């Protein structure tokens, strides 16, 4: 898409296009990727009076992702909004232009958590994922594991945020963070505490080393911890705010997949140890195999049960979405939308 067209494709353009098609209630929604559509559709589709039309940003032949969307944030308005991952920008709103955009632009919705994957992996929903995948009880305390794992990771999250805020991200690159918090064994109800203890030792070693090397930053930690606590980050829920792809990989590969394999094996053993002919048992196994073909990645991507059990959703994400929809419903006076977009573009260019 030519640069001039990108600059002219704005909320006013969508509004006029809607008038030509007879659908004034349409709001176009830019998302980072096609895989983000189900999450944002689930949050927005429950509102009446607005028809949301989702457009994965990379399908417009532009560079995909949040960074490129935010370059054109001045074009957003009542008929064109953006929905993006928060990354660290919700927790550190003054540390980058992206953080200031997410904080100040009412036409940008963001996940609050680091990414969509953090919501998909909410601990109170994981047992249901396993049951849906296997038709069996996974026999695992997901909430206890999640809280303990969060507490182990928390000190390193603080350092990651501190380095980001101080423009020193190179001191703790993504690969080092991932290596420190990674779980390298398949988890069971009997070994998860030892696995978390290993992560706790890794993080403690990093924490001690950073504290010795950067004592001035260590002195600022209590104020940073207080600031992010005000935004919902606690020791026992900080996994909501670490890199979502890291979390999803660990939850899927080290926890859900092994648990589900064991549950499937036990279920099949019960089928063949039950009464009945071999033909009946083979039929039951074939039926069971058909049901359990659903991949964990698909089940996680459509896992929106967090809304029923998350205080962070109730207190932060849901009010953000409701306020945005209320703004869209109120709209603007005719003729003002283009001027507002232009005003925002001017402020964006002069800051």
Domain boundaries of the chain, sorted by first residue: 3-114+313-350, 123-302
Q: Is the dihedral of CA 225, 228, 234, 240 positive or negative?
A: negative
The rounded mean pLDDT for the chain is: 89
Query: Which tokens sit at 129?
Result: 């994922």
Q: Which residue has the higher pLDDT, 191 or 281?
A: 191
Largest CA distance in the chain: 78
What was the pLDDT predicted at 294? 75
Q: How confident is the model at residue 332 (pLDDT cuts 50, 70, 90)?
A: very low
Q: Is the pLDDT of residue 97 over 60?
A: yes
Q: How confident is the model at residue 313 (pLDDT cuts 50, 70, 90)?
A: very high
Counting other chains too, the contacts that 62-66 makes at CB distance below 8 Å and 24 or more residues apart are 62/1, 62/6, 64/32, 64/33, 65/32, 65/33, 66/32, 66/98
What was the pLDDT predicted at 123? 98
- Give the whole-angstrom CA distance, residue 69 versus residue 40: 16
Over residues 281-292, mean pLDDT: 80
Residue-wise pLDDT tens digits, 205-241: 999 999 999 999 999 999 999 999 999 999 999 999 9
Q: How confident is the model at residue 291 (pLDDT cuts 50, 70, 90)?
A: confident
Q: Is the pLDDT of residue 335 over 80?
A: no
What was the pLDDT predicted at 336? 39
What was the pLDDT predicted at 276? 84
The closest alpha carbon to 94, from 2, 41, 177, 161, belongs to 161
What was the pLDDT predicted at 338? 39
Helices 142-165 and 123-134, packing angle to 10 deg: 130
Residue-wise pLDDT tens digits, 117-163: 999 999 999 999 999 999 999 999 999 999 999 999 999 999 999 99
Q: How confident is the model at residue 1 (pLDDT cuts 50, 70, 90)?
A: very low
- Give the whole-angstrom CA distance, residue 28 versus residue 50: 10
Which range (56-65, 104-113, 329-338) has the least confidence?
329-338
- In b/e form, how buried is each residue of 93-108, taking b as 16+ CB within 10 angstroms? bebbebbebbeebebb
Write down the residue that tokens 């494709």 correspond to: 9
Q: How many Cβ atoms are within 10 Å of 280's Cβ, its own excluded?
A: 12
Highest mean pLDDT of the ranges 52-61, 111-120, 282-291: 111-120
Q: Is the pLDDT of residue 348 over 90?
A: no
Report CA 11 to chain centroid distance, whole Å.
26
Residue-wise pLDDT tens digits, 314-331: 999 999 999 999 999 987
What was the pLDDT predicted at 229? 98
Q: Is the pLDDT of residue 347 over 70?
A: no
- Give the whole-angstrom CA distance, residue 159 versus residue 202: 14
What was the pLDDT predicted at 63? 52
Counting other chains too, the contacts that 61-64 makes at CB distance below 8 Å and 24 or more residues apart are 61/1, 62/1, 62/6, 64/32, 64/33
Which range (66-75, 136-145, 167-176, 326-335) has the least confidence?
326-335
What was the pLDDT predicted at 78? 96
The closest alpha carbon to 132, from 265, 336, 325, 293, belongs to 293
């Amino acid at each position: 898409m030519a640069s001039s067209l990108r600059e002219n494709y704005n909320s006013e353009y969508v509004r006029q296009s809607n008038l030509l098609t007879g659908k004034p209630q349409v709001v176009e929604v830019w998302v980072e990727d096609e895989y983000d559509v189900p999450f944002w559709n689930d949050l927005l589709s429950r509102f009446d009076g607005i028809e949301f039309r989702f457009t994965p940003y990379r399908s417009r032949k532009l560079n995909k992702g949040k960074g490129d969307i935010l370059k054109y944030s001045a074009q957003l308005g009542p008929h064109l909004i953006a929905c993006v991952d928060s990354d660290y920008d919700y927790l550190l709103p003054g540390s980058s232009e992206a953080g200031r955009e997410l904080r100040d632009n009412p036409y940008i919705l963001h996940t609050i958590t680091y990414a969509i994957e953090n919501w998909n992996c909410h601990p109170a929903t994981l047992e249901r994922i396993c049951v849906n995948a296997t038709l069996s009880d996974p026999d695992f305390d997901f909430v206890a594991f999640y809280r303990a794992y969060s507490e182990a990771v928390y000190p390193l999250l603080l350092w990651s945020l501190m380095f980001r805020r101080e423009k020193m991200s190179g001191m703790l690159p993504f690969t080092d963070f991932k290596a420190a918090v990674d779980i390298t064994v398949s988890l069971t109800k009997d070994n998860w505490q030892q696995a978390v203890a290993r992560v706790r030792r890794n993080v403690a070693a990093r924490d001690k080393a950073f504290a010795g090397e950067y004592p001035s930053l260590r002195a600022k930690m209590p104020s940073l911890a207080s600031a992010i606590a005000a935004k919902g980050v606690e020791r026992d829920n900080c996994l909501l705010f670490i890199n979502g792809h890291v979390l999803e990989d660990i939850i899927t590969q080290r926890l859900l997949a092994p648990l589900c394999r064991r549950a499937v094996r036990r279920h099949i053993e019960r089928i063949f140890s039950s009464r009945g002919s071999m033909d009946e048992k083979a039929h039951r196994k074939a039926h069971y195999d058909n049901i359990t073909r659903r991949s964990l990645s698909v089940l996680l991507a459509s896992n929106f049960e967090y809304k029923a059990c998350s205080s962070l959703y109730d207190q932060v994400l849901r009010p953000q979405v409701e306020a945005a929809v209320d703004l869209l419903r109120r709209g603007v006076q005719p003729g003002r939308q283009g001027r507002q977009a232009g005003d925002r573009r001017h402020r964006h260019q002069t800051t």
